[in-house]
Amino acid sequence: MTRLHAIEIGDGPTRLVFLHGVFGQGKNFGNIAKLLAEQASSVLLDLPNHGHSPRTEDFDYDLFADLVADELRYRNAENEPITLVGHSMGGKVAMRVALRHPDLLDRLVVMDISPVSRGDQSEFAYLIGALLSLDLEQLASRKQADEALASKIRNLGVRSFLLQNLHRSTSGGWQWLANLELLGTSIDKLVDWPAIDGQWSGPVLWLRGANSTHVQPADELIMQAYFPAVELVTVEDAGHWIHAEQPQAIATAISEFISRN
pTM comes to 0.95
What is the spatial distance between Cα 246 and Cα 211, in angstroms, rounded to a whole number? 12
Give the CA count within 13 Å in the CB-facing half-sphere of 121.
15
Mean pLDDT of 202-231: 97
The stretch 12-39 carries a mean pLDDT of 97
Q: Where in the chain is the domain with CATH 3.40.50.1820?
A: 6-116+195-259
- Asked if residue 123 has pLDDT above 90, the reply is no
Count helices and strands (H / E) in the chain: 11, 9
Catalytic positions, written as ranges? 88, 181, 240
More confident residue, 43 or 118: 43
- CB neighbours (10 Å) of residue 238? 22
User: pLDDT tens digits for 128-187?
Assistant: 999 999 999 999 999 999 999 999 999 888 899 899 999 998 888 899 999 999 999 999
CB-CB contact of 88 with 112 (8 Å): yes
Question: In this predicted structure, what is the pLDDT of residue 26?
Answer: 97
Tell me: pLDDT of 261 over 80: no
- Dihedral sign (CA 230, 233, 239, 244): negative
Domain spanning 6-116+195-259: CATH superfamily: Alpha/Beta hydrolase fold, catalytic domain (3.40.50.1820)
Whether the pLDDT of residue 1 is over 80: the answer is no
Q: Are strands 166-168 and 174-176 parallel, antiparallel or unpaired?
A: antiparallel
